[in-house]
Chains A and B, each alone.
Chain A
Amino acid sequence: MGDVLVLLGFGADGWGWALVSGAGLTLAVALAAMAIGTVLGAGLTAAQASRWRWLARSAAIYGLILRGVPELLVVLLLYFGAPGLLAGIAGLFGLPAPGSPPAFLTGSLAIGLVSAAYQAEVFRGGLLAMPRGQVEAAIAAGMGPFTRFRRVIAPQVLHRVLPPLGNIWQFNLKDSALVSITGLAELMRVSLVAAGSTRRPFLFFAAAMVLYLVLTSASSVLLRRLERRGTRWAGGR
């Protein structure tokens, strides 16, 4: 039992710090992916509502593909494909190939691209639930697009999209484990390395599970609190 404490501890032979900083990196990947997904997802929602048929159609097809293909394939495709793609782009400008981009970037971009497809669905659902007349009234009242979003759309849509966005966040958190195949030292990767070098796979995978559970349950507590505030903010009617 003593050696377990040493192995998981924060001493010279312990993997404690490595695991905790791995959990930090997992959180960072998930946050970056969520941000990429929100921006791109909002863009996709806007594109799907667009007047131009081809734009709406392509946004819908993007969603269909990214939601129908395993996340692992997207991560692998970006990981293996990015150096070639970058070299191709650099070649267009007559520059030498820049090599592989940082694993953090490709990893969070891959998870973010998938996240965007799901977030776009959530935003679309939120918008559909809002009566059309509201937007028309805001336009009639002379509000610009920014004011319209801030004062009419956001208060009505945000509290409705918060719970499903929370679900997507939890999926991002777990999907970030897939980034371990790119060699990024996030929680999954650290536990693999530790399991390999100490030959105690059960111990380290169990430790990683506990840390993932801490991350997911802490975020579900936070999300629930945020949701409650969101309903209060939207309520009062």
Chain B
Amino acid sequence: MNDEPAFLASTALAILRALPVTVLLSIAGALGASLVAGVLVVAQTTRLFRPLARLWIFVFRGTPLLLQIFMVYYGIAALSPVRHGPLWPLFRDPLFCAWLALTCCCSAYIAEVLRAALAAIPTGQIEAALASGMGQMTRARRIIVPQMLRLALPSYGNELVMLIKSTSLASTITVLDVTGVAELVIAHSYRTLDVFCMAAAVYLGLTTALTALLRRIERGLEGGTQR
């Protein structure tokens, strides 16, 4: 086994080269999911859109992400209005499909986190804001949103960690992210344990870094309330 260090080095390099795909998918997914989750939370406060938002959350939280990814990439892409319509260039791209499924799925989980945070804000606060004559926008900007963010942050962080881990499912529809490249290397080399451990270390690094960052932010926000 003379080529051992060379194999490990080239594998590590290949996996690290795939890191931008995983990071990009995570960031784009987090942005998309948070945005949609915000819309879902607001939609749930209106009578007209509430059932729609509840249905969205029910479906995306109740089915596996893997199935959702296949639904977008193979199912929706096979429908003829999509296949022969203007959206085809998007749905042809596995990275876009993975992002879309990830966004829809995680938005449902994040919406539940935000809704719980919203429910945890004492009603007295909102009544006080009303009594002091704040308009709807001012109330949201100065009373509701800041408290909601602080209350939601720990659970929101958990959802982001889940999201990073979930990006690995993109590899099942040919996206060459960290997991995809690891599988490729294994298919060529028939070595599983060391390659998978390297990929696992990358994800562990990402999730640990995010957790540490979130804890620091949390502590910073706590300092804000003590004053």
Contacts and interface: CB of A to CB of B under 8 A. Distances in A.
B74 A69 contact: no
Nearest to B71: A205
Contact of A69 (B169, B186, B204): B204
B70 interface: yes
Interface residues of A, number: 36
Contact of B64 (A181, A188, A217): A188
Contacts of A67: 161
Interface string B52-78: 000000110111111110110011101
A205 B66 CA distance: 11
Contacts of B67: 177, 188, 191, 205, 208-209, 212
Interface stretch (A47-55, A72-80, A152-160, A229-237): A72-80
B74 A81 contact: no
Given A72-B179, A77-B193, A81-B192, A212 B63 contact: yes
Interface in A58-96: 64-65, 67-73, 76-77, 80-81, 84
Contact of B75 (A77, A174, A206, A213): A206
Interface string A206-234: 10110011001100000000000000000
From B76, B165, B207, residue with most partner A Cβ within 10 Å: B165
Interface in B30-68: 58-59, 61-68
Interface in A171-198: 174-178, 180-181, 188, 191-192, 195
A73 B196 contact: yes
Interface string B177-197: 001001100100000110010
Contacts of B200: 65, 69, 73, 77
Nearest to A203: B75
Nearest to A74: B200
B207 A68 contact: yes
A73 B169 CA distance: 9
Given A70-B165, A201-B78, A202-B71, A180 B192 contact: no
Contacts of A195: 70, 74-75
Interface in A85-117: none
Chain B interface helix/strand/loop/mixed: helix
B78 A69 contact: no
Interface string B150-173: 000000000001000111110110
B70 A70 contact: no
B51 to A, nearest CB: 16
A206 B196 CA distance: 32
A67 B168 CA distance: 14
Interface of B: 58-59, 61-68, 70-71, 74-76, 78-79, 161, 165-169, 171-172, 179, 182-183, 186, 192-193, 196, 199-200, 203-204, 207-208
